[in-house]
Structure 1
Amino acid sequence: MDWIAAPDYWLSRLVVQRGLALIYLLAFLSAIREFPVLAGERGLTPAPRFLRAVPFRHAPSLFRLRYSDRLLLATAWLGAALSAALLAGLGDLVPLWASMALWAVPWLLYLSIVNIGQVWYAFGWESLLLEAGFLAIFLGNDDSAPPTAGRYLLIWLVFRLELGAGLIKWRGDPCWRQLTCLYHHHETQPMPGPLSWYFHHLPRPLHRVEAAANHVAQLLVPFCLFLPQPAASWAAAVVIVTQLWLVASGNFAWLNWLTMILAVAAVDGALAARWLPFLPDPPPHQPDPPVWFTAVLWTVVALVAVLSLRPARNLLSPAQQMNRSYDSLHLVNTYGAFGSVTRVRHEVVLEGTADHELSADTRWLPYEFHGKPGDVRRLPRQFAPFHLRLDWLMWFEALRPYSPSPWLRSLTHRLLTDDRRTLRLLRVNPFPDTPPTHVRARLYRYRFTTRHERHTTHAWWHRTPLGDHLPPQPRP
């Protein structure tokens, strides 16, 4: 094995870099859409207040110099423009040092956003994007062959991502070891997709096969990513197929898509290229990376090795934590998902009324979200890899019944005052002309309808009211 360069992986690098640029683009567009409303100057959890309360070392960000919504939007639009340029191939049209700088800028910009995003950016795939984005700085461009060490840094990331997700399941909820978690998961997952109803109604023996296959894919296959070819390519294929299954069954922002993109680093690009007739034959000649680049890369390898000690120790720990960053730059993190699976789905539904006096006959009209379940007759939509942060936080809100978060109270206030920026994040505003006199948060028990119920009612969901999560709030 050539520990300097891996010319056969030119296609793998191309796919990883273009795919990562696309995810960056979606992430910046999501920030443009939601950040000012969620964490802006007058957001639900204002970033300026957070910046005053948290020291720099815990949340380094360019916005330490100054925060305003205009600066945030300018930063996000700049990141989106650079991401689009990298997606179009700009990184391969400039010298190697300039390509590294181009990849470093979106990483720094997105880090600055994530570190002040608070609860809205506390998802594992935010750290995953930042860690992958940092490693992408050192993958080189068409001026040189793909660096072997850079490729293995990506494989190490995929290994920790998949193994962490497998171990947290095996150690966590007993239903994973009993192979019964998927009796519930497709129904209770944060944001079901258009096929989730059908996945939920698969025969129970097939659900057990799903769970067993997940254990194989996440506990055994990750070790095969380090094997010689073609075994590593087959292991990457298993990871990709598993992630495609998750894409089909739910909405997990860009987690599954980015995992697939990163897994391509283990694929033998030369072998794949021979099956794709539109690619150049012979492949483009790329010289070994320059000495200075190799020296920088091995310095990064040493840094990642040191920073990997705590995440690796966490993987081996019976008290394993998931989705934690051990450094404020999110350079090397620990990952995991669904260490426990909820058996019952609760939903918080925001409702308003135009009545000035409340009574048992008061008519309440619901606000509808884009992604979270609401209208029982509406088929869940596919939004991933785009991230709907407000919809996701509404799922977490339902996990704490009758104990409303401060940000939910702020959200109801925005609805009562007819805040147009906030209303643009919703799918349906039942009060388009005059704001409601009262808004409440109602807690419901949701479940997928049975096949018979679906046939007779044409509804995807059945829901049962449980009470007020937040009692009626009057218009100020």
Structure 2
Amino acid sequence: MEWFTADDHELARFVLQRGIAAMYVLAFVAAINQFRPLLGERGLLPVPRFVARVPFRAAPSLFHWRYSDRLLRVVAWSGTLLALSVVLGLPQSGPPWVPMLVFLAMWGLYLSIVNVGQVFYGFGWESLLLEAGFLAAFLGSDQVAAPVTVIVLFRWLVFRLEFGAGLIKWRGDKVWRDLTALYYHHETQPMPNPLSRWFHLLPRPLHRVEVAANHVTQLVVPFFLFAPQPLASIAAAVIVVTQAWLVLSGNFAWLNWLTMLLAFSAVDDDVVRGLVPALPVAGAPADPPVWFVVVVLAVTVLVLVLSYWPARNLVSRRQKMNASFNPVHLVNAYGAFGSVTRRRDEVVVEGTLDDDPGSAEWRAYEFKGKPGDPRRVPRQVAPYHLRLDWMMWFLALGSPAQYTWFTRFLLRLLEADPATLRLLRHDPFGGQRPRWVRARVFRYRFATRAERRDTGQWWVRTEQGTLVRPQDLATLRGR
């Protein structure tokens, strides 16, 4: 069945299956660590309230049957173990139906989490991981060659991801068109990493070159993913290099890491073998069973039909960014940073043990990833995802949708809720209940080289105002 198989993509399948599974491990571990205080029974946006008002057909999830924190842990741990088995290559050693069922189970379990995750799971890389996991289910096992249609569908996914991101930038903020976006982006991105300040302080002409190179990579290179070899492999290499550049300059959860893995769908074994002659040659695989061919072709037709909506979105003047056109997150629209913020505001949350808030000594809560103490160097946390820290960035932008959960977050701080405090880097009260909490807004910018030498500070900040005046437990419980 030469027409059905891609015999020269064994390395691509190896990377796709194990790499996507590794991203699922991270996603499920993040759910184990963060879901309960954010979305659990006593979470900031409790799942039981969500499923009571949103029907199953709009957000399919196991948790419409029932939700409990214990069931969430069962789902997340089950997904983690399934994903680890793929990373180790165990399902791939059996017939093709084994990895198929494992990946579909992972996809279904994570879909159940995402569809009740509300704003804390409203990120494009959630849909990307779901779509990638679904496609990976049909890559087969080591006993058969990878189906060529699935390899092409992975390339179509990378094309939508890159080309969609390029179009949303070009159509969006003028700073992408005049090549000045990176005058601001490294400083104002949601969660800078240890190298972001270094990137920000690069000469401005180099920033313009970076933006121009980004346009070429996202608006031109993706077309070559469908070109003959070695052009397709070269296009994949360009995408991997540019995504690695983004990994070095910021924290975007698993978005860049997963994109690099998906780009391997365009990498040909012979091209890699020309660079690495020691790459082992796989033996001739057996012909795939008829049932597997039928299933893969049916899935291919399904994806092609569902591609109508994201393809139409690409050519639309009102292009949607990170949109799902169906509740199971298959064949989505992608994109990022259609607009770039020019200034960075941060919400600093403080508490005090004193009875009088007017003369109190206030101490700041420190978050694990987002900027706080001006002397603290940002962490490298990606590909892990700190969901609370990301939502604090949106809160500082003034989004009204964030206020409900933030009010409950302040309440949990007043209660010294242990699960909530574990989401933070530092509790200034060591588990003791504060008497009052408040939230102030500061404008942050990176310290110049001279300021860094003189003060030791990574950031320079100035107060902008108060977001939440001092609140006590009785007041917030009464809301």
Q: What's the TM-score once normalised by structure 2's chain length?
A: 0.97
Measured in 2, the distance between the counterparts of 1:156 and 1:165 equals 14
Show the 5 A alignment for 1:48-447: 48-276=48-276, 279-280=279-280, 282-359=281-358, 361-400=359-398, 405-447=403-445
Match of 2:5 in 1: 5
Kindly provide the CA deviation profile for residues 287-310 of structure 1, in whole angstroms up to 9, marking residues without a partner as x.
232222111111111111111111
Distance 1:89 1:244 in 2: 25
8 Å Cα contact 2:435/2:472 also seen in 1: yes
AA aligned to 2:84 is A
- Paired letter, 2:253: A
Q: CA deviation at 1:142?
A: 0.4
Distance in 2 separating the partners of 1:2 and 1:377 = 61
The Cα shift of 1:458 comes to 0.8
Shift of 1:66: 1.1
Contact 1:436 1:475 in 2 (8 A): no
SS at match of 2:5: coil
Are the counterparts in 2 of residues 402 and 468 from structure 1 also a CA contact under 8 Å?
no
**Match for 1:317: what amino acid?**
S
Name the aligned partner's letter for residue 112 of structure 2.
S
Q: Distance in 2 between matches of 1:303 and 1:403?
A: 35
Q: 1:433 Cα shift?
A: 4.7
**In the superposition, relative to structure 1, how do residues 415 and 278 fare at CA in structure 2: closer, same or farther (>3 Å)?**
farther
**Is the Cα–Cα contact under 8 Å of residues 394 and 402 in structure 2 kept in the other structure?**
no
Contact 1:402-1:469 within 8 A present in 2 as well: no
The count of corresponding residues between Structure 1 and Structure 2 is 474
What one-letter code is carried by the residue in structure 1 that aligns with 2:459?
A: W
- Per-residue deviation, 1:277: 5.7
Name the CA distance, whole Å, in 2 between partners of 1:139 and 1:182.
Answer: 38
3-state SS of the aligned residue for 1:334? coil
- Unaligned runs of 5+ residues in structure 1 are none
The answer (yes or no) to whether the contact 1:61–1:115 under 8 Å persists in 2 is yes
- Rounded to whole Å, the distance in 2 between the matches of 1:320 and 1:149 is 27
Contact 1:3 1:149 in 2 (8 A): no
Q: Give the corresponding residue for 2:17.
A: 17
Contact 1:11–1:270 at 8 Å: present in 2 too? no
CA distance in 1, matches of 2:19, 2:433: 43
Aligned-pair CA distance for 1:418: 0.7
Shift of 1:64: 1.4
| TM-superposed deviation, 1:268 | 0.8
The one-letter code of the counterpart of 2:355 is H
Mapped partners of 1:432, 1:174: distance in 2:
47
Q: Which residue is 2:471 aligned to? A: 473
- Gap change, CA 1:200 and 1:212, over 3 Å in 2: same
Offset, 1:270: 3.0
Closer/same/farther in 2, CA of residues 373 and 285 from structure 1, 3 Å limit: same
Contact kept? 1:401, 1:443, Cα under 8 Å: no
Give the match's secondary structure for 1:347: strand
SS of the residue corresponding to residue 324 of structure 1 reads coil
Q: Following the alignment from structure 1 to structure 2, what is the Cα–Cα distance between the partners of residues 453 and 48?
A: 50
The one-letter amino acid of 1:358's match is P
Output one character per residue of 1:142-185: Cα deviation in whole Å (capped at 9) or x when no partner: 01011100100000000000000000000000010000010000
2-side partners of 1:157 and 1:37: how far apart? Answer: 33
Q: Distance in 2 between matches of 1:185 and 1:3?
A: 46
Shift of 1:90: 1.1
Q: CA deviation at 1:438?
A: 0.5
State the AA in 2 paired with 1:457: T
Secondary structure, aligned partner of 2:466: strand
Q: Deviations over 1:33-87 (max 9, x none)?
A: 0001100011000000000000111100111111100000111000001101110
**1:363 deviation in Å?**
1.6
Deviations 1:316-368 (A, max 9, x none): 01111100100000011000000000000000111001110122x42210000
Tell me, in whole angstroms, the C-alpha distance in 2 between the residues paired with 1:413 and 1:129: 33
- Aligned 8 A contact 2:303 2:331 in 1: yes
- TM-score normalised by structure 1 residue count: 0.98
Contact 1:403 1:469 in 2 (8 A): no
Q: Whole-Å Cα distance in 1 between the matches of residues 429 and 278 of structure 2?
A: 54
Residues 348 and 441 in structure 1, CA contact (< 8 A), matched pair in contact too: yes
SS at match of 2:357: coil
- How far the C-alpha of 1:403 sits from its partner, in A, is 8.7
Q: Which whole-Å CA distance do the structure 2 matches of 1:402 and 1:347 have between them?
A: 16
Please tell me the residue identity of whatever aligns with 1:204: R
Give the whole-Å Cα distance in 1 for the aligned partners of 2:453 and 2:374: 14
2:42, 2:354 → 1: CA distance?
28
Cα offset for 1:2? 4.6
Q: 1:357 to 1:460 in 2, by over 3 A?
A: same
2:36 maps to what in 1? 36
Q: Counterpart of 1:47?
A: 47
Contact 2:143/2:285, CA 8 A, preserved across alignment: yes
Amino acid at match of 1:219: L
Q: Rate the CA distance shift 1:347–1:324 in 2: closer, same or farther, 3 A.
A: same
